[in-house]
Amino acid sequence: MAQTATRSKPSTRGAAKSRRGSAVRGSGGGAFAGESPELLRDYFHEMTLIRRFEERAAQGYTQAKIGGYCHLNLGEEATVVGLMRALRKTDLLFTNYREHGYAIAKGIEPGRVMAELYGRTTGTSKGWGGSMHMFDVEAGLLGGYGIVGGQIPLATGAALAIDYRGGDQVVMCQMGDGTTNIGAFHEALNIAALWKLPVVFVVINNQLGMGTTVERSSAESELYKRAAAYRMHGERVDGTDVLAVRDAATRLVERARSGGGPALLEAVSERLKGHSVVDPAKYRSEEAVEKARQADPVANFRAQLIEAGVLDEDGAAEIERKAQAEADAAVAFADDSPHPDPSTLFDYTYATPVANDSRRLPADPVF
């Protein structure tokens, strides 16, 4: 099947043409020709909000307000926003443990996302899931999975259910580059291709599986080419370009929706920080760190919008102030939300009542 390499410039195709507002045209339009200025500013706001949210999450972790593990989307904001703009509200998303930005971009209020990180009852999973286990049926976010690749069979099963029922939803299954080396990845791609299921697999290639480069862990480092083994369509896109990601994802999602079968999309970006909040990333050279900084999608998009006349410095600063205020408000909401009562610990062990279900807490007597 066709394999497509990275596009260096954003396409002017896609859903944005139908949005409100005059298009950016003529002098200064440049790469944004045909795009709605309002929509471009909206993308910048959402990318900035995710950046500020993740910075506050890192702060909350160092303050011991967030427990367990905490993996951030810093450096991947353009990919997150571009992917989510390709989905309908009714489409389903399965992610790995680096999902805070996806939850926000899928329509979940930042306060509820932060409350989940804080382990509070107002969180998306009532505080029991934490950073790695976001879940919201109404928003179509069906996890957050802490096990590497744990989401892939489930996403493929959801796509089978949609196909079996004759629905028009599409499943997007996000994963990291390291996930492409596990068995479930190959099993899922094989069965999805055999049955032409409505699923788009997205590999977020930040070029490091924890601390190991893709080249040192994968015999085929251009991960989108792995689709060819299953006669599946594969593409690679610049993950730092929100418009390129949006257009590629939209095309593949609508292709799957119309019965064209599954696809594998590889979005290449840089991870600005370590694998998790506690990872100092000492395995990266100074040159690699500087390269990541230069590829910062939020800073670069800001500069491009100003150069194109979509924003001026004051307008960009105002959007940044708004995003910071929203992130701060999310923290305040989480801080003010109650902790779960220990008596509710077993409330969601089973979906329906089970006979002889033990609800003994650790300090309770056995008899």
- Our separate counts of H helices and E strands in the chain read 11, 8
What digits encode the pLDDT tens for the residues 127-185? 999 999 999 999 999 999 999 999 999 999 999 999 999 999 999 999 999 999 999 99
Other Cβ atoms within 10 Å of 360 Cβ, number: 10
What's the pLDDT band for 292 if we cut at 50, 70, 90? confident
Q: Residue 186: which residues within 8 A CB-CB, separation 6 or more? A: 229
Greatest mean pLDDT range, 66-75, 275-284, 341-350: 66-75
Residue 28 pLDDT: 42
Contact 219, 213 (CB under 8 A): no
- DSSP assignment of 116-147, as one string? HHTT-TTSTTTTSS-TT---BTTTTB----SS
What's the pLDDT band for 364 if we cut at 50, 70, 90? confident
Of 23-32, 47-56, 89-98, 303-312, least confident by mean pLDDT is 23-32
What digits encode the pLDDT tens for the residues 239-280? 999 999 999 999 999 999 999 999 999 999 998 888 899 888
Domains of the chain: 3-7+28-336 (3.40.50.970)
Interstrand relation of 208-209 and 212-213 (parallel, antiparallel or unpaired) = antiparallel
Q: Residue 239: which residues within 8 A CB-CB, separation 6 or more? A: 76, 78, 79, 204, 205, 206, 245, 267, 268, 269, 297
What's the pLDDT band for 14 if we cut at 50, 70, 90? very low
Of 80-89, 284-293, 356-365, least confident by mean pLDDT is 356-365
Residue 343 pLDDT: 84
Residue 317 pLDDT: 98
- How many Å apart are CA 137 and CA 271, to the nearest integer? 29
- How many Å apart are CA 154 and CA 304, to the nearest integer? 39
